[in-house]
Structure 1
């Protein structure tokens, strides 16, 4: 108790010292007029309501034309920028630069795009407009999305982090969509569909027709890539229907390009030629050489496959005039150089703006700093000595607990895939082989192989993402569903505000409860077994709710007919108890019977 009081007193001393520094070094000086303050003052005085409405309207009109006529987007944004500068309308200036950047991006002029985006960030920082800063970082991520996936994800995550400070479903939907696109480009198709569906729910709720159409195209591309051609064609044709009504030429190019690829795979040569021709028609309208290059390359592949070598050679010559791989590298280098240059210039300007104020308070600051640091150093020496002794004692105890946790994790992982489960799966495969149902046997074998691979991956980790845990659960439940057929159904629901890649949790914390629900709740029933797994996140806590309509806890205890014993639950309870000793925020597990039958398990994990 005495040690805790001492550490608390030490922390308060440091806090008071830091506050003292902040008061004297950062307090505003009324005798100095900073240039940024002058800009704000002029903006408040000179910007009229009529000017701001006109500028905002121009910016919106420019933005709305980005898909059909990006050249006009730039022209309108330039007009808006001139008006905003004349009116000293800071927000309007930042938005005009952002929209100009979008226009240049659609015209594939990435250097001009990044210049305008960085100008926009500067003005949004002046206005302390976090929402618009997040939008610009999202736009910069879009510049990198086809040439540097890691850079794109960096900016998308930067934007997503800022969005936690405000409520903007539209931006959140866009970020879900963009992350899905990167996952698609990285061949993580199932994860991509998850994020596309998350964004589409918001688009539908907002009645955002344009983005619903674009989402149809992108999910169609995913289904094409996983060779589900019928679903892909259905979605892309729906996207074409909507795009023609809205005159979304860029989207139409993507639709016809993908349709031609599907035709190619299905040997539908005449249909492929028609779709390539349609795509080229729209690529010339939007004046985008990248689209034109991709369609010409598709035409080359088509003619080559049909052994029309003369035509194929003509297309190949056109393809080599535009080397997309080399261009992508140069674009990445140019964007990085342009970004660095403009960021450096902005930093120089900001440094010049604060020099006068720094000189004014320099003497007072250093005297105050010397006294405070002397106090902090003296206090720190005493505190560190005491803290080191306490930490040594606690570290010894923590190591013992961590070793015990590691041992329990290994035992849990061994208990998860027990010989009984493997034997049942192999029996099921053998059954379908004996029935000459090789397709179903191969399906079960594929799921089982993926489950084993995922199991081995998790064995090497002390923590995993929620996405990895859900992938494991889906594989496990898929096998159990095939084995028990109509006797068991399951649902997995994930809240929209959950990012499966961001949330970290201990491995194999959920599966034993699901296994217990199947064996002790559902198996004793004749039919109609149902398991619901619900993931929600609120107040920095992940809440996992597992419910079943089985026979219930009390009836299960009475009914000892099942020979299956879940050792995993005992191991998990012991692991959680030890983890709670190591961490300030605790994991909680509650199990109750719902009525005369059925069971509910609620696991709460701090995130």
Structure 2
């Protein structure tokens, strides 16, 4: 029998899927601290992997479920377990899928018993009932499948989940009733779904409904009408680029052409369907298309090619342990082998099909296989066996006829029950709509009364708020102007201290000294350094922040020029913490230089012997702080004060005064916590200055 693509839609992905990049999600996860956020991120990572790598999806879902269970996050846990079931369903492990769906449903129903108003949980329960029902139907228990779908429908009606009814519940009920041959009920459910989709202009849903109605037309042998429905569906899917479900439309159009005996067109569209299904690794629907193509080639007399496709259907059916489909595949292979005159192999496949069909009471398949075995026995001169099989074929045909009659006689009762259910649904939906409208009107009336009472007070409050806000803005603007003015003054003062006339004059003298000695290399080298330092000072004195790399580079230039200026009176070392990325860490400019200058002028220069300066920069990443230590082995602060007091010419240093004012300003303006500590080393052997500087990481 040629196979239609009936789309049983498992709820594999939640409505609000997170399209994200796996790598970026993993990076966020590594920085996440709360357990709930970890569960959510692992769940999203699992959803991404679920589309491309089922095993990885199961791994991350399982990891998320363990954390959710440990921290009693039950609603998310139920959803995670459902998705693990989806993964197992996708690879054909229906037993494991069913196990996880039932476990998730148990958790979800317990949550519902505690909180009847949790609509998200009710939707999850409805989805789980749906998925369980489809597995039950797949296992042959369509009565249980319908009962479960009614439970799903009941929950969806409670929460007005018309989307879920249209995309899942109604199509699945229609498909199962269609399998049972109850086309009137099936059509009603498909039209219910179509009505919802047309009202919301959902083209994907409309296309699905057209496919279902086409299948029903085909079941009733109206192939031309079926082709019209399938073509409408195809046109919609092509417009929206729905490639995966295009494969179903192609397959169904191919089937319609098959029944219309246009085999070339049938092969063309079935081939298009197969090409897409092989890309998506959808084995179950691929099997159906293999079977269709095999039957077409069989009718065209190309038995070898037909056999190759039927053998593929055997392989997939056995892999999924689908006894009914395996039996059908055996019959197709056996029949084709008979056409090829390979009667021994044909008999083996047909006998296997006969045994399975007999054991499982597949009467429709027993009818086909007994007829085909009889033909094989006739061709191998086993006439008694051929006769017995024909007798059995006749008995089964009569039994099926009687079963059809019984089905027709009970159809009135079934339709009556169905109409009662439909009427109940309509009354329930009308009651829900009325109650909702009544509650909304009552709420609106209360809101009007409250609004009239509060409106005068709100106006007064708005006027007061405006006046307060206006006063605040005026004060803020004045304060900002004052801060800007003070910042400008400090920047100018800072620039003046950095552009120390003595420093510039001595640096230029040193460069002139090299020129007079014809030492052009040294002159050029130091002139270049001097120019770089001046440029840095001019460029960055007005900038709020500079990168640490530039600050350290300028300090090194400054120290090298001071070495030259004072005839290499001191050596220096700069140590930077290896963890520091100095290109991205930013600090206020020229904070460190005044302290280095102070160490040279008041610590090293009065010393009789050569000195040494150590500059260390370390990082505290947790608190975003740099620790800068400036250590000299000079004469120390006490000795320096003593020398200054003896000096008849008093030098008033404004550099440190401006620096202190600047620190106070920065701490106040940017809510920073820059602080300085000066430590006298033991035995008057120098001074240690500790600077703590918050930084920006960009």
Q: Is the TM value for this pair above 0.5?
A: no
Q: TM-score, normalised by structure 2?
A: 0.38
| Higher RCO (C-alpha 8 Å, min separation 6) | 1
